[in-house]
Amino acid sequence: MRRVIIVSGGTHPSLELFRAIYKNGDFIIGADSGAEFLKREGIIPDLLLGDFDSIKEETLVYFNGKTKVLKYDAVKDFTDTEAAYAEAVRLHPDEIYFLGCTGSRLDHFIGNLSLLDRALKSGIKGYLMDDHNKIFFMDKPGIIKKGFGNYISFQAFRESVKDFSLQGVRYPLIAYELKLGDPRNISNEFLEDEIKVSFKSGVLMVFMTRD
């Protein structure tokens, strides 16, 4: 299985989270100031890219000669994380993990959510993660296994999710129309190791969370 880990310049993940995700052979991309986390933890990425407007000069010097570097003009019509995603897709991965993609810049966070939608449409499993959240999208019914936090929340992405049903949770649902912003599906809880999710149409955002 081909996997790519993107580390961007938002709130850096803990080393524990990175180690929990990383598997031998994963392709690592550092996007802009995500390089600061990689340097601090002694991790050499396979690719470092960005306009480097928020990276220390000494960090860029540190990685020079150690990995491939792609530098973009600061005036561009895409984000550094988007550029990292485009490079990841060239590798035809089965999974992409987005780290450092949450934080104080909510505009960037919304843009990063859209990359999960692009991955889904390309048949790639995308996971946006930090130490408190694991976010992924679903466009068809399936099973979700417990394993990250005790809470699970659901939202619709763009259009409503029709005939949404949940089994194996504290607050089950049957044939519910889930719309973006609906608070009814926030902080549900696993009652079993696996929960069953079904719906007829729409794209479902899944948030597995922990305090």
104 with 152, same domain? no
Q: Tell whether 116 and 38 lie within a shared domain.
A: yes
Per-residue model confidence (pLDDT) at position 105: 86
126 & 179 share domain:
no
**Crossing angle (nearest 10°) for helices 80-89 and 106-121:** 20
What residues in the chain have per-residue pLDDT under 70?
75
Same domain, 202 and 142: yes
User: Which pLDDT does position 1 carry in this prediction?
Assistant: 83
pLDDT at 73: 82
Give the pLDDT score at 24. 96
Owning domain of residue 147: 138-209
Among the three residues 115, 131, 147, which one is the final residue of a domain in this structure?
Answer: 131
151 and 168 belong to one structural domain: yes
Q: Is 184 left (phi over 0), alpha (psi -120 to 50) or beta?
A: alpha
Q: Of 131, 155, 170, which residue constitutes the final position of a domain?
A: 131
Write down the pLDDT at residue 175.
Answer: 97
Distance CA 17, CA 11 (A): 13
Model pTM above 0.85? yes
Give CA angle at 100 (118, 68), nearest 5°.
Answer: 80
Cα angle vertex 180, ends 174, 186, to 5°?
Answer: 60
pLDDT (tens digit, 9 = 90+) per residue, 169-188? 999 999 999 999 999 999 99
Give the count of domains, the chain: 2
Contacts (Cβ under 8 Å, ≥6 apart) of 44:
28, 38, 63, 66, 67
Q: CATH code at 81?
A: 3.40.50.10240
Same domain, 77 and 127: yes
**Residues contacting 26, CB < 8 A, separation 6+:** 3, 4, 5
Dist. CA 127–CA 114, nearest whole Å: 12
Q: What span, in angstroms and rounded, lies between the C-alpha atoms of 110 and 41?
A: 27
Residue 177 and residue 85 share a domain: no
